[in-house]
Structure 1
Amino acid sequence: MPFAEDVTVIVGLAIVVGIVGTVVPVLPGTLLVGAAVLVWAVVVQTTAAWVTLAVVVLVLAVGQVLEYYLAARHMTSSGVPRRSLVIAGLAAIPGFFLVPVVGLVLFFVGALYLAELVRLPDRTVAWRSTVIALRAVGLAVLIELTSALLAGGVWLYAVLRA
């Protein structure tokens, strides 16, 4: 079945791109990993493929829940308001287009610091608050990367067992 083998290779490449996408904000990340495994399951059409898809979806869903729960908990326990994060997120959008690759991060950090500086006039306190928020964002990225790697590993295990 050469078509299924070709699809398997393409899906493997899409999973790698998805894993990279969890760190590089240009790519959709876990969404791409899940969609790639779905395409593979539809083409292969075996019980093992459907079970693999179910496990991958479960791993990615748990990762998303943990990502938002732990990052939000970290932020709220440290006192960083949602308003500052929304401002930073909105500023990151044009940053992505104005300064390719690094603009998203630069504009996010800069806007977050400025929003916190307006809220907390002391520069040291504002910077400390910014660092706390960045740690939470880093934690979220780490959780998403881990779930994408686990999902990719589940798929790879299924492919090698077939």
Structure 2
Amino acid sequence: MVAKAGTNRITQSEINRPKEYLLLILLASLWGSSYLFTRIGLETLPPATLVAMRVTIAATVLLLVVWQRGYKLPTDRATWRNFLIQSFFNSFGAWILVAWGQQYVESGLATVLNSTSPIFVFLLTWLVTKHETVTARKVTGAFVGLAGVILIIGVNALQSLGQQVVAQLAILLSAML
């Protein structure tokens, strides 16, 4: 989808629905399968090593995209300090918590617990920045999304909810990061 120059609007004729749905399915497959692959990887690797490998591969791919598109990386310290902080919270720190938790929690339940991210983002934005208004539609949307994940993964994934509480809380904390 590309907006016309000078506008942020995309017309219906510019939307390629089959392509958009295929990209959505690809994203869901890649994102959802990461919990299964984390679980498999934890059979032979400690959480920190697994996450370090994952983040290194992702960073390498992103650097290749940046290089291929001809972009330059910033050179100032302030930007790199911000990158370091953001990478810890959004990548390494969050995935360490998930990987550690998945040593004790099945991947299906980990997926459901991590899918609470939109709820936490909504609540934290509302509570901290105060620029988000709470409407029934927004709250309903967040919980319908969570219910959708539960239906896709299967209600059976919730059977072990309440067991291994510390590991489940670690995964929930990663959803907040």
Normalising by structure 1, report the TM-score: 0.32
Normalising by structure 2, report the TM-score: 0.30
